[in-house]
């Protein structure tokens, strides 16, 4: 018997076990594609150049997917080989020597591994290019992100998966050389045994999870986060597998013991089914849970970054066009004429460009810092004067406030309006410098940024009061003569995006750094931000998509392979009186397991990952906690919804197989 | 009292990818009285399994009908068919059809669980049956941990537990050795003596000799029957063998 014989035998086996091998090859290919794309991202220009930390983080991603691949392929292989035990046991009985059986298995492994690696690489090349093209088209970032890969990526993928398939080969051979044929013939019937020392496994699971969580919670700074991130992820992954294996078996056994729960049609069928293949069930659920965590982290951090950036842009540039006019500290009055002059000029320039002003807001103001003590505002010289954070004070003339807010307050000479961001100042009067004002409160009509630090806005009767306060301040700090009254002018215009851009560019040329004023367009600022950081959005969406597709395929594989596994059982049960409704009932009672469990545990993981991920985000300049929390919640809900659909569709596939 | 009546039953299979038709049953007529133990014998391919499947509602007849307690099976609504099968019929199959993921106990309880029977009721029914069948000691084991004969007793227990009108058995001894077969047939006979109606398909003369009446089926029709009467089992077996020989040779002459 020569190799030709064994290889054609192997090929025939694969063909005749199509039902098993097609899902196996498909899901292996998917995992290989995923790994290959991840390795290829390491060669991406944006990843390499944007920040030194990015290649490190992507390396973590590569290793995580490598570990995941090992577990996933061993899991699918064990599923497959279990169902072939009988067939291969027959070879022994028919007189094939063990080394011959090993040879057949060897050729089978060679065929399946080469097929799926080749398919994975090709799929990676095509899918990568296509999705990059699509994303570039959809996102229209200022600069396209190019898809790139390298021979090293190909070699790494090839090496890793040849290694993994090598392990499956050794595992399969060991299954057949050490078992006697009779046992093999029964192989499929025998249920899985509970792993030894499952209590110890459970404790270990908690230790690993706790350790991983602990690293995240106690992380002191971004640098440490970068260093420890991998370790934390690794511990949580190990912990997850152990938790699902020990925990699910523990719960299932407890449910089986409770007769009231167990002896009901749906539970009876599903609990016994899950216990029958308890380890496979647990590993499959853990796989889904880990992929779900990856999706949630990738997408929610990206979303935070971009929603945060949009917020910052909106706050710093409340209008499409923003002009800041600098006052002259030696000639406080100069701002007044300049202020009106510029407004007129800007209107004219806008109209000259063929656009109309739809809204314009302008106000003069002076900024100061100090502390609120009793009824007094005490000046401080600069931001970091005292040990306490200073209160930010902005003073506006009534005329400008009325104009910008559309109110028509009037004030007598000793009255002022105020807004306090923390709302804790409730007094009727305020002494500031040498002036004393009777106060009335107003709503926040000002920038949202006011809420970042404790701030106080004071609207005084007219500009001369501001001048007076400046003099009071200079009396206290004679060296500091740089206080000025500045002005903001912001306006929106009519016109298309293109016309607005043209106008912004024109304004930028003329006014960007003029002598006494400075122009900024929100449009151009956004573009600049995106040209630096757009790659993050791109990669975030890409990874989210990749991991979601991974989740789809893995859920699909689980349902299909279990469906074929359960088919015979359902046929027997139908003979003794199981009806179709009950089949659906039993698939429904798996919802808690298949749907809720992975999502809930993934959510817990990601919640604990919050501190360490937050520190990592600091490296890329993301600081907004509220946004993070909201986008996190949003992504969890959105992913739960997507996974729900995946679950529904795949369980329908399962149902159609078993019924 | 007639429990089961089969009237002009006909079954034609049409091959899925061609128009070729196989007539598995041409016209079958017979009836089974309450408390009877009837065997159906015939060569392989004579339509025995087809007949049993139609009686089991697992398959539809082309024409004719089966009446249980005077009610035609064809009138049962699709929705009720599973419940009907669970409550009125008990099955014993040649290849046991036990489920590997359930213990022996749970295998036996399966039809009751599907009928949402209260736990107390299930357990009180279980013990007498398993004791009677001698599988008491094995109820916490899994099917792969017991012998073929024991598996078939489990299947019998599963059939009995719903207290069915009739037990339908398709070659129950087909996968058993002679000792286990003997054992099982004695058990079935014992069960029949408590009043349980049994309809069994077999091609073993020895197995058939345990029943009260044997129907012979050939080319899709019942063409002979013999009663056991007062004679001994061995006597009956001889008569069955004789009938088979005579009928076979006549069959050959006909062709
Ligand atoms: N599903 C089917 N489709 C087509 N022909 C069938 C089918 N089942 C049985 N037959 C045919 O009907 C005849 C009777 O089969 P069966 O009832 O299984 O016989 P027995 O059980 O007596 O051996 C045979 O000729 C068989 O080939
Ligand atoms: Mg048959």
Give the tens place of pLDDT for each residue, B10-29: 999 988 777 888 899 999 99
Ligand nearest to the backbone CA of B170: 2
pLDDT band at B36 (very low <50, low <70, confident <90, very high): very high
Kind of pairing between the strands at A486-493 and A357-373: antiparallel
Ligand 2 center from residue B182 Cα (angstroms): 20
Residues with CB under 6 A from ligand 1: B 13, 22, 24, 42, 44-50
Which residues on chain A are in Cβ contact (under 8 Å) with B83? 577, 579
Q: Which fold has domain B2-254?
A: Rossmann fold (3.40.50)
The rounded distance, in Å, linking the Cα atoms of A241 and A72 is 11
**A182-186, A630-634, B140-144, range with the lowest pLDDT:** A182-186
Half-sphere exposure of A203 (CA within 13 A, CB side): 3
pLDDT classification of A450: cutoffs 50, 70, 90: low
Is B91 an 8 Å CB contact of chain A? yes
pLDDT class for A406, splitting at 50, 70, 90? confident
CA distance A509 to B18: 82
- Partner residue facing A260 (CB), from B109, B110, B119: B119
Q: Give the residue, out of B19, B24, B215, with the most ligand 1 atoms within 8 A of its beta carbon, to mutate for a pocket test.
A: B24
Residue A115 tokens read as 């097929």
Q: Which atom belonging to ligand 1 lies closest to the Cα atom of B47?
A: 17
Sign of the torsion angle spanned by Cα atoms B143, B144, B150, B152: positive
Closest partner CB to B116 (pick from A265, A275, A575) = A265
Residue nearest atom 26 in ligand 1 by C-alpha distance? B45
Cβ contacts of B173-180, under 8 Å, gap ≥ 24: B173/B202, B173/B204, B173/B207, B174/B94, B174/B95, B174/B202, B175/B94, B175/B95, B175/B96, B175/B148, B176/B148, B176/B149, B176/B152, B177/B148, B177/B149, B178/B206, B179/B149, B180/B147, B180/B148, B180/B149, B180/B152
Of all residues in chain B, the percent with pLDDT exceeding 70 is 98
Residues 157-216 of A with CB under 8 A from B: 186, 188-191
Q: Which residues of A touch B99 (CB under 8 A)?
A: 272, 569, 572-573
Phi and psi based region of residue B229 (left: phi greater than 0; alpha: psi -120 to 50; beta: remaining): left
Contact A456, A421 (CB under 8 A): yes
Helical (H) or strand (E) element with B189: helix B178-193
Q: Which pTM value belongs to this model?
A: 0.81
d(CA B96, CA A528) in angstroms, rounded, equals 74
- A contact test, residue of B83, B110, B155 with most A CBs within 10 A: B110
For residues A398, A404, A408, A412, the Cα torsion angle rounded to the nearest 10 degrees is 0
Measured from the Cα of B53, ligand 1's closest atom is 17
pLDDT category at B227 given cuts 50, 70, 90 is very high
| pLDDT band for position B254 (cuts 50, 70, 90) | very low
Cα nearest neighbour of B167 on chain A: A576
Percent above pLDDT 70 for chain A: 96
SS (H, E, C) A386-402: CCCCCEEEEEEEHHHHH
- Residue whose C-alpha is closest to residue A224's, from A602, A622, A611: A611
Contact B101 A276 (CB under 8 A): yes
Query: Residue B99 is nearest to which of A190, A572, A582, comparing CB atoms?
Result: A572
pLDDT number for residue A433: 85
pLDDT at residue A99, as a whole number: 84
Report, as an integer, the average pLDDT of B59-88.
Answer: 90
Q: Quote the CA–CA distance of A619 and A615 in Å, as a whole number.
A: 7
Q: Which two tokens stand for residue B230?
A: 């007062």
For residue B96, give the chain A residue with the closest CA.
A572
Closest approach of chain A CAs to the CA of B144, in angstroms? 7
Q: How far apart are CA A138 and CA A165, in angstroms?
A: 38
pLDDT recorded at residue A203: 94
In whole numbers, what is the pLDDT of chain A averaged over residues?
A: 87
- In order, the DSSP letters of A57-74 are HHHHHHHHHHHHHHHHHH
* C-alpha to C-alpha distance for A490 and B220, rounded to whole angstroms: 96
| Of A632, A557, A630, A629, residue with least CA distance to A602 | A632
Give, for B210, the enclosing helix (H) or strand (E).
none
Sorting pLDDT into bands at 50, 70 and 90, what band is A382? low
Distance (Å, whole) CA B252 – CA B254 = 5
Residue (of A608, A638, A591) closest to A274 by Cα position: A591
Distance CA A394, CA A489 (A): 16
- Which has more pLDDT, A309 or A202? A202
Residue the block writes with tokens 């106080």: A456
Tell which residue, A380, A391, A388, A378, has the closest CA to residue A420: A391
State the burial class of residue A164 (Cβ atoms within 10 Å of its Cβ: 0-12, 13-18, 19+).
Answer: buried
The ipTM is 0.88
From first CA to last CA, the distance across chain A in angstroms is 43
Q: What is the pLDDT of residue A387?
A: 58
Q: How far apart are CA A562 and CA B125, in angstroms?
A: 33
Euclidean distance between the first and final Cα of chain B, in Å? 39
A442 membership: H or E segment, kind and range: none
Contacts for B29 with CB less than 8 Å, ≥ 6 apart: B6, B7, B8, B9, B222
Nearest-angstrom CA–CA distance, B16 and B21: 10
Helices first, then strands: H and E counts in chain A:
22, 10
Residue ranges per structural domain of chain A: 1-190, 198-321+516-659, 328-515
Residues 272-291 of A with CB under 8 A from B: 272-273, 275-276
- Cβ contact, residue pair B114, A569, below 8 Å: no
Low-confidence winner among A103-117, A455-469, A524-538, B241-255 (lowest mean pLDDT): B241-255
Q: Higher model confidence: residue A444 or residue A128?
A: A128
Range list of H helices, A84-97: 85-93
Residue B83 pLDDT greater than 80, yes or no: yes
Q: Strand B37-41 relative to strand B213-218: parallel, antiparallel, unpaired? A: parallel
Which ligand is in closest contact with the Cα of B46? 1
Contact call for residues A322 and A488 (beta carbons, < 8 A): yes
SS3 A145: coil
Percent of chain A with pLDDT over 90: 29
pLDDT (0 to 100) of residue B255 = 43
Region A539-559: mean pLDDT is 88
Whole-angstrom distance, CA of residue A158 vs CA of residue A494 = 57
- Would you say A616 and A226 are in contact if contact means Cβ atoms under 8 Å apart? yes
Chain A residues in contact with B109 by the CB 8 A cut-off are 263
Rg from Cα positions in chain B: 18
Query: Which contacts of B228-232 are long-range, i.e. CB under 8 A and separated by 24 or more positions?
Result: none
Q: Where is pLDDT greater, at A262 or B233?
A: A262
Asked if A466 and A366 count as a contact pair (C-beta separation under 8 A), the reply is: yes
Considering only the beta carbons, identify the residue of A259, A272, A577 that sits closest to B114. Answer: A577
Angle, helices A3-16 vs A18-41, to 10°: value is 100
- Nearest protein Cα to ligand 1, atom 17: B47
Give the span between the Cα atoms of A506 and A524, in whole angstroms. Answer: 11
- How far apart, in whole angstroms, are the C-alpha atoms of residue A508 and residue B79? 76
Q: What is the pLDDT of residue B146?
A: 92
Pocket test for ligand 1, best of B50, B199, B219 (most atoms within 8 A of CB): B50
Q: Do A275 and B101 touch (CB under 8 A)?
A: yes
Question: Which one, of B146, B139, B135, B151, lies nearest residue B94 by Cα?
Answer: B151
Residue A539 has a pLDDT of: 87
Local structure of A166: helix, strand or coil: helix
Interface residue of B49, B82, B159, B165 to substitute, partner A, most A CBs within 10 Å: B82
How many Å apart are CA B41 and CA B171, to the nearest integer? 10
pLDDT band per the 50, 70, 90 thresholds, residue A383: low
Kindly report the nearest CA distance between residue B93 and chain A, in angstroms. 10
């Amino acid at each position: 018997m020569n190799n030709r014989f064994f290889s054609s035998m192997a090929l025939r086996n694969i063909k005749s076990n199509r039902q098993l091998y097609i899902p196996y090859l498909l899901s292996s290919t998917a995992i290989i594609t995923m790994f290959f794309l991840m390795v290829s991202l390491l060669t991406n220009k944006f990843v390499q150049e944007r920040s030194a930390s990015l290649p490190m983080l992507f390396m973590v991603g590569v290793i995580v997917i490598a570990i995941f691949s090992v577990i996933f392929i061993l899991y699918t292989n064990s599923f497959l080989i279990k169902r072939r035990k009988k067939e291969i046991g027959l070879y022994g009985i028919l007189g094939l020597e063990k080394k011959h059986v090993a040879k057949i298995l060897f050729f089978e492994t060679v065929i399946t591994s080469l097929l799926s690696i080749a398919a994975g690489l090709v799929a990676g090349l095509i899918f990568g290019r296509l999705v990059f093209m699509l994303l570039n088209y959809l996102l229209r970032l200022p600069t396209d992100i190019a898809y790139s890969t390298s021979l090293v990526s190909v070699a790494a993928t090839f090496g890793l998966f040849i290694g993994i398939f090598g392990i499956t080969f050794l595992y399969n051979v060991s299954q057949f050389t050490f078992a006697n044929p009779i046992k093999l013939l029964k192989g499929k019937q025998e249920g899985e045994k509970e792993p030894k020392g499952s209590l110890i496994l459970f404790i270990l699971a908690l230790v690993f999870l706790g350790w991983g969580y602990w690293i995240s919670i106690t992380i002191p700074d971004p640098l440490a986060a970068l260093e420890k991130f991998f370790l934390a992820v690794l511990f949580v992954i190990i912990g997850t597998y152990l938790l699902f294996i020990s925990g699910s078996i523990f719960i299932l056994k407890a449910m089986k013991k409770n007769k009231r729960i167990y002896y009901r049609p749906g539970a009876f069928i599903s609990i016994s089914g899950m216990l029958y293949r308890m380890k496979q069930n647990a590993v499959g659920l853990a796989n889904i849970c880990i992929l779900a965590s990856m999706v949630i982290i990738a997408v929610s951090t990206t979303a935070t970054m971009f929603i945060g950036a949009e917020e910052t842009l909106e706050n710093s540039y409340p209008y499409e066009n923003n002009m800041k006019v600098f006052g002259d500290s030696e000639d406080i009055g100069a701002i007044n004429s300049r202020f009106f002059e510029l407004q007129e000029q800007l209107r004219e320039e806008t109209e000259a460009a063929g656009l109309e002003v739809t809204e314009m807001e302008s106000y003069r103001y002076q900024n100061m810092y100090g502390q609120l003590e009793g009824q007094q505002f005490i000046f401080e010289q600069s931001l970091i004067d005292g040990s306490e954070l200073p209160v930010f004070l902005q003073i506006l003339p009534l005329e400008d406030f009325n104009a910008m807010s559309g109110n028509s307050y009037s004030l007598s000479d000793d009255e002022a309006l105020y807004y306090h961001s923390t709302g804790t100042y409730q007094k009727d009067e305020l002494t500031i410098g040498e002036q004393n004002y009777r106060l009335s409160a107003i709503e926040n009509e000002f920038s949202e940024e006011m809420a970042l630090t404790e701030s106080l806005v004071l609207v005084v009767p007219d500009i001369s009061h501001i001048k007076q306060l400046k003099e009071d301040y200079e009396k206290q700090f004679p060296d500091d003569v740089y206080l000025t009254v500045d002005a903001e002018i912001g306006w929106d215009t009519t016109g298309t995006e293109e016309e607005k851009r043209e106008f912004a560019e024109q304004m930028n040329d003329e006014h960007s750094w003029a002598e006494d004023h400075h122009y900024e367009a929100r449009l151009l600022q956004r573009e600049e931000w995106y040209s630096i950081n757009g790659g993050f959005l791109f990669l975030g969406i890409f990874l989210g998509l990749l991991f979601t597709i991974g989740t789809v395929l893995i859920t699909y594989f689980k349902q299909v392979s279990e469906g074929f596994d359960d088919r015979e059982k359902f046929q027997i049960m139908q003979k003794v009186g199981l009806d179709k409704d009950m089949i659906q009932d039993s698939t429904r009672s798996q919802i808690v397991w298949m749907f809720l469990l992975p999502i809930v545990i993934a959510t817990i993981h990601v919640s604990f990952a919050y501190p360490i991920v937050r520190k990592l985000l600091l490296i890329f300049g993301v600081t907004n906690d509220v946004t993070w929390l909201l986008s996190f919640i949003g992504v969890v809900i959105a992913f739960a919804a997507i996974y729900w659909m995946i679950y529904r569709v795949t369980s329908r596939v399962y149902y159609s197989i078993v019924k | 009292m007639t429990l089961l009546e089969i009237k002009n039953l006909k079954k034609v299979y049409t091959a899925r990818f061609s128009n070729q038709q196989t007539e598995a049953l041409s016209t079958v007529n017979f009836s089974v009285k309450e408390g009877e133990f009837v065997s159906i014998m015939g060569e392989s391919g004579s339509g025995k399994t087809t007949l049993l499947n139609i009686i089991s509602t697992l398959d539809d007849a082309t024409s004719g009908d089966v009446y249980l307690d005077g009610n035609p099976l064809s009138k049962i609504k699709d929705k009720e068919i599973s419940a009907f099968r669970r409550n009125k019929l008990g099955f014993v199959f040649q290849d046991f059809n036990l489920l590997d993921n359930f213990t022996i106990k749970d295998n036996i309880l399966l039809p009751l669980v599907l009928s949402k029977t209260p736990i107390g009721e299930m357990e009180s029914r279980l013990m007498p049956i398993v004791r009677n069948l001698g599988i008491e000691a094995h109820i916490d084991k899994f099917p792969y941990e017991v012998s073929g004969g024991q598996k078939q007793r489990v299947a019998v227990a599963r059939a009995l537990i719903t207290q069915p009108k009739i037990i339908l058995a398709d070659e129950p001894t087909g996968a058993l050795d002679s000792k286990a077969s003997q054992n099982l047939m004695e058990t079935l006979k014992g069960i029949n003596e408590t009043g349980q109606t049994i309809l069994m398909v077999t091609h073993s003369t020895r197995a058939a000799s345990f029943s009260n009446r044997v129907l012979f089926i050939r080319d899709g029709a019942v063409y002979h029957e013999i009663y056991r009467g007062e004679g001994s089992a061995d006597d009956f077996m001889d008569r069955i063998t004789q009938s088979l020989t005579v009928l076979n040779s006549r069959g050959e002459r006909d062709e």
